[in-house]
A and B are shown apart, each in its own frame.
Chain A
Amino acid sequence: DAGVTQSPTHLIKTRGQQVTLRCSPKSGHDTVSWYQQALGQGPQFIFQYYEEEERQRGNFPDRFSGHQFPNYSSELNVNALLLGDSALYLCASSLGVSDTGELFFGEGSRLTVL
């Protein structure tokens, strides 16, 4: 049973560039959430996608955008990168109709902005 997979695992960008991170949810899951985790901190909720639409959004600027595809996989796009965007980006999947609140996480994509 494949878990949540993310790519790439590491990447380096420079300020002002754009980045796209990818996520495939756990088999059978239809909902994807994205989190940003700064070094030594807890993850911060960015947004969630369900049925190819953004369902809820955290306190992140419009430079952060996403997409969900018909196969439930998802992308996170960040434009006009800032040094402060350097972080581990975690993808988590769940079942949209689940009421347990439990999320399954991937290993994350480590973004470094120079």
Chain B
Amino acid sequence: AQTVTQSQPEMSVQEAETVTLSCTYDTSESDYYLFWYKQPPSRQMILVIRQEAYKQQNATENRFSVNFQKAAKSFSLKISDSQLGDAAMYFCAYTASSSSNTGKLIFGQGTTLQVKP
């Protein structure tokens, strides 16, 4: 069975600094997608960044980038120039390409990120 593990329940970062959130996963599939979602107190889950497993290049979206290590099954999120609005719960999620059309994401336990002014 596929699993996603986030080993950091809480992280904090100073405004304008850089922080890295960790995620590991387990799967026997060769083709899959990985995601980082952000859930602020308003509760709505927002997609931060997406990575296709077949792509070696790490995905980047403005201040957000990932370090995807397929062999190690590791998928960390780096937030540069942290802003107060980045404070939220961050979830790492996985879906196998075979099930990507069925909407079945497997989520980690989440990491609460605090941004200090």
Residue picked from A90, A94, A101, most chain B C-beta under 10 Å: A101
Output the least CB separation between B2 and chain A (Å): 11
Contact residue among B91, B99, B103 (Cβ-Cβ distance under 8 Å from A42): B91
Interface of B is mostly: mixed
Q: Given A33-B103, A100-B100, A42 and B108 touching (CB < 8 A)?
A: yes
Which residues of the partner chain B approach A42 to less than 8 Å between Cβ atoms?
4, 91, 93, 107-110
Q: Which segment, of A11-19, A65-73, A78-86, A103-111, faces chain B?
A: A103-111
Chain A count of residues within 8 A CB distance of the other chain? 32
Output the least CB separation between B86 and chain A (Å): 18
Q: Give the size category of B's interface with A.
A: 20 to 34
Which B residue sits closest to A57, measured CB to CB? B104
Which residues of the partner chain A approach B108 to less than 8 Å between Cβ atoms?
42
Which residues of the partner chain A approach B45 to less than 8 Å between Cβ atoms?
43, 90, 92, 103, 105
Which residues of the partner chain B approach A99 to less than 8 Å between Cβ atoms?
97, 100-101
Q: Could you tell me the distance between the alpha carbons of A50 and B50 in the complex, rounded to whole angstroms?
A: 23
Contact of B110 with A92 in the complex, beta carbons under 8 Å: no
Output the least CB separation between A90 and chain B (Å): 7
> Is the C-beta of B105 less than 8 angstroms from some C-beta in chain A?
yes
Q: What is B's interface to A at a CB cutoff of 8 Å?
A: 4, 33, 35, 37, 42-47, 50, 91, 93, 95, 97, 99-110
6 CB contacts below 8 A, A to B, read A42-B110, A90-B45, A99-B100, A101-B97, A103-B47, A105-B46
Q: What is A's interface to B at a CB cutoff of 8 Å?
A: 31-33, 35, 40-45, 48, 50, 55-56, 58, 88, 90, 92, 94, 96-108
Given contacts A100-B50, A103-B47, 12 further A-B contacts (CB under 8 A): A41-B109, A41-B110, A42-B93, A42-B110, A43-B45, A90-B45, A96-B101, A98-B101, A100-B100, A101-B97, A101-B100, A102-B35
